[in-house]
Structure 1
Amino acid sequence: MEFGEVVRKRRMVRRYSSAPVDGTSVDRLLRNAVRAPSAGHTQGWAFLVLEQRADVDLFWEAATPPSRAAEPDPWLRGMRSAPVVIVPLSSKGAYLDRYAEADKGWTDRDETRWPVPYWHVDAGMASLLILLTSVDEGLGACFFGIPEGRVAALRAAFGVPSQYTPVGAITVGHADGAGQVRGSAATRKRRLADDVIHRGRWSG
């Protein structure tokens, strides 16, 4: 598929068919993810890959607030139909360590040196490569956040080390075209390029 077509076709898919995902496709998602750029070539990311039904179900048990699990809405029911969940994680410590090395010129691990948390930015770039590769593989995918208060349960369920923070999760599968749950894109128009691009200086 041409790259331009991949970009145009990328959508957040919120409901999946029962068709399994080929393991070679999942491997390609991950191989492309680790090609993402990272500050200082730190590569301070990790990916928790859940492909077995029991693991996927455990993810939803850990990541879903009990009140919501008791009465799942259409979004949650659709998302739980995904056969694969990938949790991208970032390590702040890896970046603080990397930039305290001799070639970077800093002598400490002072977090205030960082104007933005590039550990999360880089994990986000890797996540986007997973989303785009999913399109190229003929799959659907959706990036979403872990609800407030559920990170500890997720860590405990899968033995995630304390130095890694989940930046979200990505469902992957074959889109169920007949039962899609509409997201914000259905009610909010995409902003025009002229509204957000400022050439030479800020305008408008």
Structure 2
Amino acid sequence: MEFADVVRRRRMVRDYDPDRPVPPGVRERLLEHALRAPSAGFTQGWAFLVLEDAADRELFWSVTTSAGAPDGWLTRMRRAPLLVVPLSSKAAYLERYAEPDKGWTDRDEARWPVPYWDVDAGMAALLMLLTAVDEGLGACFFGVPPERVDQLRTAFGVPDTHRPVGVVSVGYPGAEDRRSPSLRRGRRGVDDVVHRGRW
């Protein structure tokens, strides 16, 4: 598939065929491509929690969602055969930029205009989303509710040095997959968002 087609076809898939697992080779390409994402100072301060086993996925959903009957969105999302949780490490970036070639020995977080540790993990997630499209699969990026992060850490042994920036669900689109109602808003055009030379 041409790259322009991959970009045009990328969308958030919210329903998956539970009977079609992600082939191991595709899973490995998703992760290998994620490692090609840019990172400030080539820090590569990310990690990826991969959840494929049914028990691991069930544990994920049980610690990140409320008890009770799931709504339609959650019912469909729970069918995803693969979940990847990209994690960022602020400490890795502060340490990297204290090295001699960077020279910020004070490790002051205030030097960072934005949290590039999260930005870089997000870029890795985007490469997974694009790879899924290229492989003929669907994927969705969604967040972990802040009040559920500690439960996620405990359930999967995630160290305090890393925090989840979201989750990438991956699988073959299911029969109930449909466009998000949010798309009715329409995609903003280039002239609406691009400011050439000055605002």
Give the TM bin, normalised by the shorter chain.
over 0.9
Equivalent residue number for residue 69 of structure 2: 71
Give the aligned residue type for 1:188: R
Could you tell me how far 1:182 is from its partner in structure 2? 3.6
Equivalent residue number for residue 188 of structure 1: 185
In 1, the alpha carbon distance for the partners of 2:97 and 2:181 equals 39
Q: SS state of the match for residue 150, structure 1?
A: helix
- Find out whether 1:179 has 2:196 as its counterpart: no
Asked if the contact 1:15–1:179 (Cα under 8 Å) also holds between the matched residues in 2, the reply is yes
Could you tell me how far 1:185 is from its partner in structure 2? 3.7
Cα deviation per residue 1:60-102 (whole Å; 9 max; x = unaligned)? 0111123xxx021110001000000000000000000000111
Could you tell me how far 1:181 is from its partner in structure 2? 4.5
- Find out whether 1:61 has 2:59 as its counterpart: no
What is the RMSD of the two structures over their aligned residues, measured on CA atoms? 1.0
In 2, the alpha carbon distance for the partners of 1:199 and 1:186 equals 27
Could you tell me how far 1:180 is from its partner in structure 2? 1.5
Deviates more, 1:2-11 or 1:16-25: 16-25
Equivalent residue number for residue 10 of structure 2: 10
Equivalent residue number for residue 39 of structure 2: 38
Give the aligned residue type for 1:34: L
Could you tell me how far 1:155 is from its partner in structure 2? 0.5
- Find out whether 1:137 has 2:135 as its counterpart: yes
In 2, the alpha carbon distance for the partners of 1:19 and 1:6 equals 21
Report the TM-score, using the length of structure 1 for normalisation. Answer: 0.94
In 1, the alpha carbon distance for the partners of 2:165 and 2:25 equals 24
In 1, the alpha carbon distance for the partners of 2:131 and 2:16 equals 17
Report the TM-score, using the length of structure 2 for normalisation. Answer: 0.97
Structure 1 consecutive aligned stretches of length 4 or more whose deviation exceeds 6 Å:
none
Cα deviation per residue 1:93-132 (whole Å; 9 max; x = unaligned)? 0000000111102121111111100000000000000000
Q: SS state of the match for residue 86, structure 2?
A: strand
Q: Identify which of 143, 152, 162 aligns with 1:164.
A: 162
In 2, the alpha carbon distance for the partners of 1:13 and 1:101 equals 41
Equivalent residue number for residue 117 of structure 2: 119
Asked if the contact 1:91–1:164 (Cα under 8 Å) also holds between the matched residues in 2, the reply is yes
Unaligned runs of 5+ in 1: none
In 2, the alpha carbon distance for the partners of 1:185 and 1:10 equals 15
In 1, the alpha carbon distance for the partners of 2:77 and 2:111 equals 38
Equivalent residue number for residue 148 of structure 1: 146
Work out the number of aligned pairs and report it: 198
Give the aligned residue type for 2:154: A
Give the aligned residue type for 2:74: L
Could you tell me how far 1:184 is from its partner in structure 2? 4.4
Q: SS state of the match for residue 16, structure 1?
A: coil
Asked if the contact 1:86–1:171 (Cα under 8 Å) also holds between the matched residues in 2, the reply is yes
Unaligned runs of 5+ in 2: none
Q: SS state of the match for residue 80, structure 2?
A: coil
Asked if the contact 1:99–1:109 (Cα under 8 Å) also holds between the matched residues in 2, the reply is yes
